[in-house]
């Protein structure tokens, strides 16, 4: 996973905004030996990111060829404009989660747009700040790059090199197509997750103690920063509203059916909505962004040192490649569940061989 190839990027890179995204970019590039200059409006935030090894303070004479702006969406255009003005030869990109609004604001500000290429990694976490940063945050994830006709190809290539150096996959889209797509795959899901999590606040005593993996999957991103997300949702509101309206229509259908389950066709309506969900989720790309599905084998693993390692080496001995892995573990239980993704044709053999070696298969 960790690559040791030399960086494609050449020279210093300046990162403005040393929070989750900025510090993760810094850590990833520093790992390749790139000189990373960090800047942030918060001195404390900047010092923390430097302490974590994400880069260094700016110095007299710095002349970065590439500047990455990783500040909240509402601040993005003004910071990009200031960087374009301060470094007249540099190519500037940003990583904001919306792309139409910052570009429109930059046009209004009269910035030199021939050196600006917006971008957006579809990778992140529900917690911000350098403290949550990770060098491998972008590995295998799509990173949208939004070139425009007035930008020279060499500047777009520079951004693509950044993306490839961080082991992400560049995806070219214009800003409108980007915002429409992320409304569906990122912005509306945030609202749905948060609203479901809000229900948990009204849980009767003891109910939350029964929470399994299902509710955790649905609500993980409900821990996201409200201030950041208000900016994202407000900047892409028409597209998000359209998706949430369709969601509300489907919800109304389910509510009507559940309201009178004995009515003719009610169970069919519920089943159809659930089956449509099966079809929707099956379309999500699998590992490394490819549209490929794997079969999963769930193995029960004793909560003792070395058990997981033994499982991995035995999978190696029987010649099965682990395509993906998810661990489920309850702090109370003395057992964990390892969900191993394997090629569909390897599933039956994996289950048989592991059972023969004494492993308990849970599904």
Residues that bind ligand PRE (CB under 6 A): 97, 122-126, 186, 221, 224
Nearest approach in angstroms of CB 219 to ligand NAD is 16
Which does residue 145 touch among ligand NAD, ligand PRE, none (CB within 5 to 8 A, set by kind)?
Answer: none
Number of residues counted as binding ligand NAD (CB under 6 A): 28
Only one residue has tokens 């976490």, namely 125
Q: Taking CB under 6 A as the criterion, which residues in 205-264 touch ligand NAD?
A: 228, 232
Binding ligand NAD (rule: CB under 6 A), the pick from 6, 10, 11, 41 is 41
- Of 135 and 311, CB closest to ligand NAD: 135
Integer CA distances (angstroms), 131 to 36, 127, 206, 223, in order: 18, 9, 32, 16
Task: Say how far apart CA 106 and CA 112 lie, in whole Å.
Answer: 9
DSSP letters along 239-278, please? HHHHHHHHHHHHHHHHHHHHHTTTSTTHHHHHHHHHHHHH
Nearest approach in angstroms of CB 125 to ligand PRE is 5
Nearest approach in angstroms of CB 264 to ligand PRE is 40
Segment lying near ligand NAD (by CB under 6 A), choices 71-79, 111-119, 163-171, 296-304:
71-79
Contact 144, 178 (CB under 8 A): yes
Integer CA distances (angstroms), 238 to 76, 180, 213, 235, 275, in order: 20, 9, 33, 9, 28
Nearest approach in angstroms of CB 171 to ligand NAD is 14
Nearest approach in angstroms of CB 124 to ligand PRE is 3
55 binds ligand NAD (CB under 6 A): no
Residues paired with residue 339 on neighbouring β-strands, in sequence order: 298, 326
Contacts of 61 (CB under 8 A, 6+ apart): none
Q: Under the rule (CB under 6 A), what is the footprint of ligand NAD?
A: 16-22, 40-42, 45, 70-73, 75-76, 79, 95-97, 121, 124-125, 128-129, 228, 232
């Amino acid at each position: 996973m960790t690559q040791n190839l030399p960086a494609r990027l050449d020279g210093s890179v300046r990162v403005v905004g040393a929070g989750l995204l900025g510090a993760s970019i810094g850590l990833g590039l520093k790992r390749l030996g790139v000189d990373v200059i960090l800047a942030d409006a918060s001195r404390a935030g900047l010092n923390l990111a430097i302490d974590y090894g994400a880069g260094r303070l700016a110095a007299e004479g710095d002349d970065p060829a590439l500047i990455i702006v990783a500040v909240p969406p509402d601040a993005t255009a003004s910071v990009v404009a200031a960087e374009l003005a301060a470094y007249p030869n540099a190519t500037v990109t940003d990583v904001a989660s919306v792309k139409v609004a910052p570009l429109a604001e930059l046009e209004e500000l009269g910035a030199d747009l021939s050196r600006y290429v917006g971008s957006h990694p579809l990778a992140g976490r529900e917690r911000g700040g350098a403290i949550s940063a990770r060098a491998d945050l972008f590995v295998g994830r799509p990173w949208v790059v939004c070139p425009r006709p007035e930008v020279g190809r060499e500047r777009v290539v520079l951004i693509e090199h950044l993306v490839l150096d961080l082991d992400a996959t560049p995806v070219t889209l214009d800003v409108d197509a980007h915002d429409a797509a992320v409304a569906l795959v990122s912005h509306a899901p945030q609202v749905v997750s948060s609203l479901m999590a809000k229900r948990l606040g009204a849980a009767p005593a003891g109910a939350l103690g029964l929470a399994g993996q299902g509710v955790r999957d649905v609500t993980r991103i409900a821990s996201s920063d409200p201030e950041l997300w208000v900016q994202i949702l407000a900047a892409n509101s028409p597209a998000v509203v359209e998706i949430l309206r369709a969601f509300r229509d489907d919800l109304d259908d389910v509510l009507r059916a559940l309201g009178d389950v004995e009515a003719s066709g009610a169970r069919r309506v519920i089943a159809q909505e659930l089956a449509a969900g099966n079809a929707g989720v099956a379309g999500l790309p699998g590992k490394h962004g490819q549209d490929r599905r794997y079969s999963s084998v769930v193995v029960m693993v004793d909560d003792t040192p070395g058990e997981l390692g033994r499982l991995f080496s035995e999978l190696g001995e029987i010649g099965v490649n682990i395509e993906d892995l998810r661990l489920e573990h309850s702090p109370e239980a003395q057992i964990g569940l390892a969900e191993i993704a394997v090629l569909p044709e390897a599933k039956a053999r994996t289950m048989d061989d592991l059972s023969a070696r004494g492993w308990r298969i849970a599904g």
